[in-house]
Structure formats: C-alpha cells, structure tokens
Structure 1
Amino acid sequence: MTVVNTKNAPTAIGPYIQGVNTGKMVITSGQLPVDPLTGMMSAAIEVQTFQSLENVRAIVEAAGLTVANIMKSKIFVKDLNDFSAVNVAYEAFFAKYGAPFKERSSIEFAQFPKDAKKEIEAIAVV
C-alpha cells in the first residue's frame, strides 16, 4: 500500500492523506472544492462540484490511473436543494474526460471545513 500525494490537489487540512493506492484500487479522501494553485474556493455549487472532481482526478492520475478507472464516488452536499446543479457539473466532468458514469452515493451533510458546500471522495479500480 502506498500513499498518493500530488501538488495538483489541495493538501490535507487535517491528519489524513490525499489518497492511498492498494495496488488494486486507489481510494481518495474527501476532496473539498479548493483550487490547489490559488487555495481559493468559488461560491458557486457547480464550480465547487467540478473543482472537487478535478482534485479527485489529480489524485487518481498521480497513482497512474484515469477518470475512466473511477468506479464509485460519494458526494456529500450541504443542501440537497443544490442537487440538480451538482448533477449538471458531475455529468459535465465525466463527459469532458470521455468516461462513463459510475456508481455513486449522495449524502446531505451539515457542515464542511472552510464552509464548502460539498465534498467528493472516490474509489478507482486498476
């Protein structure tokens, strides 16, 4: 098992790692919608969704896989009223990388670090 770490995703803001590669799968920690270059976060839920997915992609790619290898994602969202906007950004992200949609779960969650509106984690399979 190897730790996955990349400068192309935000550094962890707590005592955890960006991801782990077991040799058969890559598991990412929850990715806030923070731009790793600027440290900033958009207020728009669509932009936040896309950025969290880009951060997941960066970790998966650092482990040598692609978006197409993502088999499962969990979307934690602060307000389920934002769900249609999240879906639009989620669909656009996977379309951009020519990857089919995978299994996912969506969970409403009360509060995130940095007052983000959402967080996404994923499992990619070799």
Structure 2
Amino acid sequence: MKTIISTPDAPAAIGPYSQANLANGILYISGQIPLNPETGKLVEGIDKETHQVMKNLQAILSEAGLSFKNVVKATIFLKNMDDFAVMNDIYASYLDADHYPARETVQVSCLPKNVDIEISMIAHQF
C-alpha cells in the first residue's frame, strides 16, 4: 500500500509527482529545491539554498512522523561542485553524526528553475 505524503510546510509539487510516498515503511521524498513554501519564491546563494532545501525535507519527514535520524539515503545534485564544502557543512548541521545516511553528491549542468541545489531522500520507519 502506498500513502501520499503532502504538507503545506514544503513546496507543493510543480509537476506530475508527489512530495513523498510512503510504502511498506519506507518514505521516498522527491527532490527538493530551495523554494520557500511561505512566499513561493526561491532563495538565492548556496548557503541559504541549502538551509531551505533541508527545511523543506524536514517538513516532509515530520509530516510522515519521521526525522533526519530515519534517513537512510540522500542524493544531492549541485550545479557547481565548488559549492560542496558550504553545502556539506550546512547539510551536516541538520544531521546527527550517529545517524548519517548513505549519500552521493553529483554535479549537474542544470536543475529545475535554475537553482544551485536539489536533494532527495529515502527514510525508513524504524
């Protein structure tokens, strides 16, 4: 059984997808971009963008009754790998070192709305 997870505390889906799907105790979160759900506007600058993406992910996790401790996998897309260190420090600040998920970070040529970062996650109900 699949349950659609949706919260107004994260940006609404802007295409034919859901914010997240919960299936068999596993939460699959769609890639989040730095869109502020309160204003509907993008934030700019890799530091602010990373914080906004993590807040969006946190809101979706919370709606599903989970937290970053439940995240088992993250995928990070950066437009510029020179932003890695800044992004990595901010990303780590949201996580518990005892519960770091598996992760890959890749540089891509373009992201939706021409943002600098997009992150998707997979979490598990323990």
So what's the TM-score if we normalise by structure 2?
Answer: 0.92
What is the deviation of 1:3? 0.6
Structure 1: state its 5+ residue gaps. Answer: none
Partner of 1:11: 12
Residues 1:113 and 2:106 are matched in the alignment: no
Name 1:74's counterpart in structure 2. Answer: 75
Match of 2:23 in 1: 22
- When the two chains are superposed, the root-mean-square deviation of aligned CA atoms in Å is 1.4
Identity %: 34
**Distance change (3 Å), C-alpha of 1:20 and 1:86:** same
1:1-126 matches, within 5 Å, as: 1-94=2-95, 100-126=99-125
Aligned-partner Cα distance in 2 for 1:99–1:89 = 17
1:71-120, Cα deviation, whole Å (9 max, x unpaired): 1100000000111111111112225xx87322111011111122110100
Secondary structure of the residue aligned to 2:94 is: helix
Secondary structure at the aligned position of 1:29 is classed as strand
Going from structure 1 to structure 2, the CA distance change for 1:25 and 1:15 (only over 3 Å counts) comes to same
Q: Deviations over 1:12-38 (max 9, x none)?
A: 111111000013110000001111111
In structure 1, give the amino acid aligned to 2:14: I
What is the one-letter code of the residue matched to 1:2? T
Moved beyond 4 Å, runs of 4+: none
Whether contact under 8 Å (2:68, 2:94) holds in the other structure is no
Conserved 8 A contact 1:31-1:56: yes
Q: What letter is aligned with 2:47? A: E
Aligned-partner Cα distance in 2 for 1:93–1:63 = 17
Give the AA of the match of 1:101. Answer: Y
